[in-house]
């Protein structure tokens, strides 16, 4: 019997792996997306629900958590601005992409982060590496 495709993971993977120098690695039992060796997005299931973890600054973290029930302070790394977002119901994938790209900018070396803001350069940047499982 084949496992049912995880459409949320497929969409997140498509967002993350288009960013420069990114890879996906299974760590702690779930997919983590990295730039170089640093994680910028994490995907996991809790109570049968899909969740996205990403980094932001502490002010945005506080605002998201206080104003939107989809968000909570991430376990273990919340003190560094990490947020958990529930991916339930109708997910706005443009919103997710914005959070992922902002997290990438905070984690990535400046030479890669700048490529997201410079038209044309991102297309010439090295793309994702093969996934390690």
Domain spans of the chain?
7-117
Note the pLDDT tens digit of each residue in 94-126.
999 999 999 999 999 999 998 887 655 444 444
pLDDT for the residue numbered 133: 40
What are the distances in angstroms from CA 32 to CA 45, 109, 123?
A: 13, 18, 23
**Structural tokens at position 32:** 């983590």
Note the pLDDT tens digit of each residue in 16-63.
999 999 999 998 889 999 999 999 999 999 988 999 999 999 999 999
The structure's pTM equals 0.84
Give the single-character DSSP code of 102. H
Beta bridge partners of 132: 25
pLDDT for the residue numbered 118: 62
Give the single-character DSSP code of 122. H
What is the CATH topology of the domain spanning 7-117?
3.90.1150
* Those residues with Cβ within 8 angstroms of residue 60's Cβ, 6 or more apart along the chain or in another chain: 81
* Those residues with Cβ within 8 angstroms of residue 6's Cβ, 6 or more apart along the chain or in another chain: 50
């Amino acid at each position: 019997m084949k496992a049912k495709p995880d459409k949320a993971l497929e969409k997140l993977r498509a967002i993350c792996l288009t960013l420069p120098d990114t890879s996906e690695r299974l760590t702690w039992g779930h997919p983590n997306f990295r730039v170089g060796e640093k994680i910028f997005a994490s995907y996991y299931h809790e109570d049968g629900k899909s969740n996205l973890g990403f980094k932001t600054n502490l002010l945005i973290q506080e605002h998201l958590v206080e104003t939107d029930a989809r968000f909570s302070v991430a376990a273990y790394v919340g003190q560094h601005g990490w947020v958990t977002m529930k991916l339930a119901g109708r997910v706005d994938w443009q919103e997710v992409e914005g959070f992922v790209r902002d997290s990438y900018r905070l984690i990535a070396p400046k030479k890669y982060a700048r490529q997201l803001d410079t038209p044309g350069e991102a297309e010439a940047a090295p793309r994702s590496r093969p996934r390690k499982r």
